[in-house]
Chains A and B, each alone.
Chain A
Amino acid sequence: MKLYRALLHLYPSSYRTEYGDEMAGIFAQEVRLRSTLLGRLWLWVETFFEVLSNAAAVHRQIARRDLRYSLRSLLRSPGFTATAVLLVTIGIGANAAIFNLADFVLVRPLPFPEPERLVKVYEKHPGYSMMELSPANYRDFIVSTSSFESIAAYTDIDMNLLGQGEPLRVEGAIVTGNLFSTLGRSPWIGRYFAERDDQAGAPATVMLSYGFWQTEFGGNASVLGKSIILDDRAYTVVGVMPPDFHFPTRETKFWRTFQFQEENYKDRNDNWIIGIGRLKPGISIDQARTGLQLIAKRLQQQYPKENENVGATVLSMRDELSKQSRWLLFALVGAAVCLLVIACANLANLLLVRAIARQKELSIRVSLGANRRTILRQLLSESVILGLAGGLGAVGVAAATLPLLARLVPTALPTQEVPPVDFRLLILALGLTAITVIAFGVAPAIRVCRNAGLSGLREGTRTGGSGSQRVRSALVIAEVAVSVVLLISSGLLVRAMWKVQETDPGFRGENVLTLRTALPLPKYEKTDVRKQFYTKVLSDVRRLPGVVNAAYISALPMVWRGGIWPVVIGGRSQNRSEGTSGSLRYVTPDFFATMGIPILSGRDVSEADTNAKPYVAVVSESFVRRYWPDESPIGRHFEFAAHDREVAGVVKDVRVRGLERASEPQVYIPYTQVPDGWIIGYIPKDLAIHANRPPQYLVPQVRRIIGEADPQQPISDVRTMDEIVAGETQSRAVQTRVLMTFTAVAVFLAALGIYGLLSFTVSLREQEFGIRMALGAQQGDIFRMVLSKGAVLTLSGLIPGWLLAYMSGRWLQSLLAGLKPWDILMFSVASALCFAAASIGTLIPAMRAVRVDPTSVMKAE
C-alpha cells in the first residue's frame, strides 16, 4: 500500500488530500480480490498507467480551472491588469531590444567560421596604435610569422562602374588573393580569388557582393565570366559572395586584387593597407602579437630610418569597434536595466497592494475551508497570465523597435544592418519575464497566504501590515533613486551632445553642397587632363545662379580622416614617432573661400602653381605653432609627401578627424603641383559649392554640368556640409533619443509609484485621519502629513540617486565630451524634475486625505 500511496503523489496535493484515503481503500479491496500473483501483478501494471493518465488529466483540469479563475479575477479589475501588463511590456520590451542590439554588436559571433581566430593587423607608431601597414612591412610580416595560418590585406576603394546604364560610383575593396580563404567564406556562385589572381600582370578579375549582383546584374548567374568596366578597365567577374557576407563594411559592393608590383614595396612610410589574419589553432592573440612585435623589432634594426619605433598591433576583429560605440551601447544597456528595475518595483508594489487588498477575501476563503495551496496556485497563475501577456507584448515592442535602433550598429561591423530578431531575444524575454513574475508575483502571494486566516481577518485591510508598508516604501525609494540616475545620466549625455554639436568645425557648414566625382584612371592619370575637367566644371558651376564659389579637394574634412604624412624640416627627421605629422590634401584655388576657412597670412594656392614652379603649400595655424612658433612661416621650407615645399599661406585649423578627436595640422597643396600618375589616392574628387541659399536646388544643374564635362563620370555622395557635420553626432543623437524616452517613462513610472503608494496609504489611514480631525486636527495638518510623507520618500530616493548618478557619470566619462560627472546644474535640474514629478504624485492623495469626512468614517467603523 505504501507503493500505491507513493504513486498517488503524482496527483495534485489538494486532490490527494481530498480523495487519497478512499482511493487507497478501493485499491486495497481490489488487491484482495486478486488471489493470484499474476493477477496482482497485472493490477499493478494497470493501476500504474491509470494513475499516470488520470493524474495528468487532474493537473490539466486544475490548471484550466485556475487559469479560468485567474482570468476572470484579472478581468474584474481591468485597470490593474492593464497597468501590470504594460509595466512588464515596457520593462522587458526595452531590455529585450537593447540587449539584442548589444548582443548583436558586442557578442554574437561575426559571420565567419571560427571568428575568434580572426584578427586585424596594424602597424604601431608612437601616437597611433592602429596605423595601416605599408605593403613592404606587410610582406615581411607574412613571410616571417609562424603564428598565423594566413594574413590577408585590404583597403577600401571607390570606383566608377560604366557600361551598365548611368555611370555609377561604387564602394569596393582591393584585397590580397588570400582574403576570402583567410575569412573562410565560400562564394555564393563562381569561385573566389586565388593567389594567381593577385600576381602582377594577371588578368583583371572582380568579385561582386550579393546585393550589388542583384541590383546591377539582376541576380543573373550568366554574369560569371563576363567583363564589367570599373574606372575604364575591364574586369572579369569570377564570383559572387553570399547575401550575409559583408567585408570590410556593409557598403562594400565588389572586390578586386592588389596585384602589387615591386615598386609598391619601396616606401615603408606609405601606409595604406590593413592586415587581417587567421591565427593557427591554439595560438592566442597575445602570442601572435608578441611574435609580430619581434618581427617588427627586427625590421626596425633592418630599416632604422623608415621603421624607427614601428611596432605591430594585433587585435581581435570584434575589438576594433570604437570605444565610443561600445560605451554608447553600455549606457543604453544600463538605462534599460534601470527601466526594468523601476517597472519591476512598480509591478511588485502593484501586486503587493492587490494582495493586501484581497487579504480579507482570501482569509474568508481559508476560514471556509479553502486550501492555502489552491489559493497560492491561483495567485501564481494570475502572475503567470500577467507575465505571459506582458512578455508577448515585450517581444512585439522589441521586434518593432529593432529597426529604429539599427543606426546604433556601427557601419564598420561586417554584419547586416538591422539586428535580426532571433531565438536569443525570445529566450531573453522569457527569462526576464519568468524572473520578474516569480520574484514579484510569488513573494506577495506567499505573504498573503501566510497571513490568510483568522489573523488576516482580524487585521483586515486596514494596516496593510507594517512590514509590507516598509517593503513598499523601499521599492518607491528605489524607483526615485533609479529615476534620478537616469535623469542625470541622460541629461549629461544630452549636454555632451550639445557641446559636441557646438564645436566649431573650422569651416562653413550652411549652404555648402558637396558631392563626389572620383576621376578614373588611367583616363585622368595626367595632371593636365584633370585640370581641364576641374576648370570646366568649376567655371560652369560658378556661373550658376546663387553660387558664390566652388572648389575641389582630395577629400573633405570629416569625410576622410586619413592622409597623414610625416613632416621633415631642415633635414631634421620629423617622423611620426615624434607626433609631428600633417594631413595632406590637394585643393583647387578658392577652396578656403568656398569653405569659409580664413586665410591668416600669405596667399591661397593659385592656378600659377604648376609643376614647373617651386612646390608650395598652404598650412594651418597649428602647423605654424608647432614648427615656427615665434617666426613668420611664409617662405619657409619643409619636406612633405616626398617633395620640398615652401609655405605660401597660413589658414585657420579645421577638424579633419571629426568633432570629438584632435586633428593633425593640415597641409594643402595646389592640385596642379603633382607629377603625372603620382599619389593617385589624393586626386581631388570632392566638389564643394557655396551658394547664397540652401543649395539642394543646384543638384540637377551640377549633374548636367558634370555630364557635359565627361558623360561617363558618375556623381556620388551628394550631401550638404551641414549633413556631414550632423553625421558626426548621429549615433549620439539616436542614443540620446532612446535614453530620453527611457528617462521620461522612468520618471513617469516613479511618480506613478509614489502616487500609488500614497493613495493606498491614505485609503488605509482614512479612519485615523477621521479620528484626528474629530479630535481637532486641521485639514492643513493632514495635508502636510501626506505631503511630508511624499517628500521624505522622494528625498530618501534622491540621496542614493545622486551617489549612483555620480558613479554612472564617472563610468560614462569617455562619452561626456569633457563635462564633469558631478555637473551641479544637471544634478539640480534632475532633482527638481524628480521632485516636481513626485509632488504631482503626492498631491492627489493628499487632497483625498483632506476630504475625509470624520463622521462617515466613524460610522463605517
Chain B
Amino acid sequence: MPKRPPIVLERREVVASILDARGDALVVTGLGSPTWDAAAAGDHPNNFYLWGAMGGAAMIGLGLANAQPTRRVIVLTGDGEMLMGLGSLATIGVDRPRNLSVIVLDNQRYAETGMQPTHTEHGVDLAGVARAASLESVATIYSRRELERWIPRFYAGPGPIFAAVKIVPNHPPMVLPPRDGTYVKNRFREALLGKRAVG
C-alpha cells in the first residue's frame, strides 16, 4: 500500500463547509453518519435523508440529476455505503450527468455498527474506482486547503464529479433529521416543484 498523507479532517466541519456553499443545490445523504452530519449542518427541505437503502445514494442522485439538469445535485455518503453500490459508479461514469457530484466522507469505518474497518481501511481506493469508471473529475481530499479548492467545483465544475474526503474516525453526537420517509419525500418535492407535486 502506498504511503498516504495523515488524516486530519473532521466530518462535521467538512459537511458544514460543503453545505454552506449549497445555494440552490439538491442534496441526498447516505444512511448513518452522513445523514446526521447534514442534519447537524441545518435541516433543509431540499435534503433527502436516507435512513436505509444502503448502496442507493449515488443512484438516487443520478435519477434526480437527470430530472433536474439545471440544478446541481450533491450526494453526501459514507465509504461503507459507497462500497455497497460500487457498480453505480460505473453506471454514472457511462451516463455522465454534468450536474452530479458524489462526495464520500471516508472514515474507513462502519461508524454506526461499532467502527469496524471497511475495505478503504485496507487500501481500497474509492477515487481510483471512480477514475477507472471514467467519471469526469476525481479527487481524494486530505487537507483543508484541498477541500476549499474543491468546494466550488462540487457546485459548478463539469460532472460527474467524485471525491473521497478522508476524515478522522470520530463519532460526533447524533443529530436526527425527520425520519418519516414519506414526509421527507413530499417536503422535498413541494420545495422543488411546488404545491401541485404533492396533490
Do the two chains bind?
no
Chain B residues close to A by CB (< 8 Å): none
